[in-house]
A = this chain, B = another copy of it.
């Protein structure tokens, strides 16, 4: 297997050129100069995520193609949560010299497979651990960004899809023997949910049709974390009907009695949590899970008035 040490930096850049060489109407200057130049209308939205092997992914649960996909999905999900349309990606890669070129190419293939916009720039350097830094650039109309602080009393809380699948997939990948008697359609579905989560860019245009920008956040750190953050940043109370949180039958089969806990605290499902006026006409399949109230500002409660906290959310240190 050819490694980066065999190939050198210039050799690696030549091998990666096909991933970013395509001209694109919005890109005036792409990879190969000191920076990239992009045209945009409205305002610029920018997000960044750093992923480190051994912390955010491991070879046993995430093949390189899925590493690229997930890194890209996490950033595009942040753009979707802001109500933005993607413009381009900037990819930073820190790699040990013994990394194979095949690994790097598979990461890039995963990025391209997930991603509707061009890779406009990047930086590649030596590092003791495989590290990905992805910056996503998007555009949004002036004053049209979806904010975490955008919940208003009287709004309903909607979500774009099911929760807990990514956490269930991780469980199967980490301990396959334990789940070997489950039907393969179920284990394959949750593994796919873990390795290839879909950022909800398709929900942006339907939600941007509404007269006022909605409140929104993605649920990458878990649904409970998103609920608490939106309650706190909006200064409102949220009441959630936990029986309405969507969970697939595949996730229920794997998770059993932990299904709701994984839905609330598992994270990395990349569905959007949206706050908008009741009966808003949105051409997108949203699921109603709760409502925004004036009582208990900053807090989230279920319909029995029990508090929901972000307690089990993933903490980085």
Q: Give CA–CA (A147, B74) in the complex, Å.
A: 32
Is A317 within 8 A of B34, CB to CB?
no
Nearest B residue (CB) for A150? B33
- Over the window 1-36 of chain A, the binary record of Cβ atoms lying under 8 Å from chain B Cβ atoms (1 yes, 0 no) is 000110111101000000000000000110011111
Is A123 within 8 A of B34, CB to CB?
no
Question: Quick one: which of B50, B120, B125 contacts A93, CB cutoff 8 A?
Answer: B50
Is B45 within 8 A of A135, CB to CB?
no
Is B55 within 8 A of A125, CB to CB?
yes
Q: What is the size category of the interface that chain A forms with chain B? A: 35 or more
Interface membership of A113, Cβ < 8 A? no
Interface membership of A289, Cβ < 8 A? no
Interface membership of A92, Cβ < 8 A? yes
Is B127 within 8 A of A131, CB to CB?
yes
Considering only residues 219-234 of chain A, those with a C-beta below 8 Å from chain B are 233
Q: Which residues of B contact A28 (CB under 8 A)?
A: 43, 142-143, 145
Interface membership of A264, Cβ < 8 A? no
Q: Which residues of B contact A137 (CB under 8 A)?
A: 44, 46
Is B127 within 8 A of A55, CB to CB?
yes
Q: Give CA–CA (A104, B297) in the complex, Å.
A: 33
Interface membership of A66, Cβ < 8 A? no
Q: A35-B79, A46-B90, A54-B128 are in contact. List 7 more A-B contacts (CB 8 A).
A: A34-B77, A34-B217, A35-B82, A37-B140, A39-B142, A44-B87, A131-B131
Interface membership of A122, Cβ < 8 A? yes
Is B129 within 8 A of A47, CB to CB?
no
Is A127 within 8 A of B52, CB to CB?
yes
Interface membership of A204, Cβ < 8 A? no
Nearest B residue (CB) for A95? B317
Is B82 within 8 A of A48, CB to CB?
no
A residues with a Cβ closer than 8 A to B are: 4-5, 7-10, 12, 28-29, 32-40, 43-52, 54-56, 77-79, 81-82, 84, 87-88, 90, 92-95, 97, 120-129, 131, 133, 135-138, 140, 142-143, 145, 147-149, 216-218, 233, 315-317
Is B125 within 8 A of A34, CB to CB?
no
CB distance from A142 to the nearest CB of B (A): 7
Q: Give CA–CA (A55, B127) in the complex, Å.
A: 7
Given contacts A126-B55, A138-B35, A142-B39, contact A50 B90 (CB under 8 A): no
Is A131 within 8 A of B50, CB to CB?
yes
Is A92 within 8 A of B34, CB to CB?
no
Question: Quick one: which of B44, B122, B131, B136 contacts A94, CB cutoff 8 A?
Answer: B131
Given contacts A48-B122, A78-B35, A90-B48, contact A317 B43 (CB under 8 A): no
Is A34 within 8 A of B52, CB to CB?
no
8 interchain residue pairs of minimum CB distance:
A133-B133, A35-B47, A34-B81, A50-B92, A34-B78, A52-B127, A9-B316, A4-B317
